[in-house]
Structure 1
Amino acid sequence: MVRSLHKLFVSNLPWTANVSFDRKTGISQRETTFTSRNQNQMSNKVEDKFNLAANYIQSHHNNFNKNDLLQFYAFYKQSTVGELDINQQPRPSFFKLQERAKYDAWSNLGSMDKEKAMESYIDLLTKLVPTWIESEQKENRNSAGTFGVSISRPKFEDKIDEEIKSIKDFIRDGNVEKLKTLLKDVNQSELNAIDENGLGLIHWASDIGNEEILSIILNTKGIDVNLKDGEGQTALFYASSCGHKNCVQLLLKHEADKSIVDNEESSCLDVAYDDEIRMILK
């Protein structure tokens, strides 16, 4: 079997056909695939409009809310990179809620092809700002701008990051309901993970001294009550040194180990805030 490339004319339009011939008979097997030059032109038009839309959003990202920006982000990544490879890029930990939100938005697009993602990006912008294209074309004319976007990190990612709180913010704010929701979607390794500051969730809660928040964390299946921070200190050290009496008692109730010493050989008793805390620890 041999393949031959033929240029055909259908309705006066040039098409390229891949035609299969049998070597012995010379007869076409009629398995012909046609690709129109107009199809390529249509793709180029979509890409040009997508680039124009991306430029507009770069300049006006402060006009959109967090959810819209997340959707733009997802369509943008799908358009420029393709499907998210979840095997090569694992889901970010819940310490990084901003990165996780972006990851989930992109992942939800599945195998959507790049052109469809571009069209969805454009459609969403048109729905939100029906006059965007006239505005952007006018700006381009005034600035002699050109099409084409080469953006490794769209500006609106910064706004997404600013608007999505971290789990530490929820602990600090005492946001019980949000914390409960997040802890439903966490595995044991994440629950006992250490963040970039060298602290785990249980350390943050003990440091702040919110008994209700600490109780929620301690009652989450898989929590390590004796998790050590970067300096070898447990949550009991934090509650003790900060003088959070109720948190010290709560940790002891959950069998926190008083005998642990940190990297400098100090114990939670050594760092106790006052005599009242020392009496509880003895």
Structure 2
Amino acid sequence: MSEDNFNLAANYIQNNHKDFNKDQLLNFYKYYKQATVGQLDASLNPKPSFYKFNDRAKWDAWNSLGNMSKEEAMKGYLDQLTELKPEWIDSVDINSKQPSFKAVSRMQSNDELIEDDDKTIEDFLKEGNIEKFKELLSSVDDINELDENGMGLIHWSSDRGNESILELILSQKDVNIDLVDSSNQTALHYASSCGHKNIIKILLMNNANKNLLDEDGNSCIDVAFDDEIKLMLG
């Protein structure tokens, strides 16, 4: 199985994620994680709390592949894309740079297409639309407000690994870098569990507290994506 084709497929999905529904993206996510990381290690990636429906679904999907080899996972990823979009390979630029895969690995929520006029600041953040996010940021009354998912803007930016948006948030007056979500998780918990190293660096440079515990008694180190993240936080 060609790793080059796998990278091209991941690039294609990243650029065309709106063409797939949530279940299809979930399947791509599990194969991608298995192909790039290997079998899910629950000791390094504990199962998310029941409240975090999307994260729990991703955890369950990845875990369902068991000890499937990385090669088999790459094949599963490519087979699914080819079944859904048989013509995909003809539309990609084989000389294009390999993508960062952030949008794919975080499995952006695309339950429905929303017109720009109907989008919230959280929607633009999830899309990584910095210009629109910055435009709406000036009208935010409380930078530390939690949304209907129990998350603040700082949690979403750390979850999505968007450095530019995180820095915009941190530049705001009265921002709480240690803001806790509805499960008492901080931005550092999110960045640590997702493996976003640059986000962790930014948060630590701004004196984020590494010792705060979530509702399950876990620190950001306890939920670290891998040993390298643990060393960063240690």
Q: TM-score, normalised by structure 2?
A: 0.50
Which structure has more strand as a fraction of its residues?
1
Larger Rg: 1
Greater relative contact order (CA < 8 Å, ≥ 6 in sequence):
2
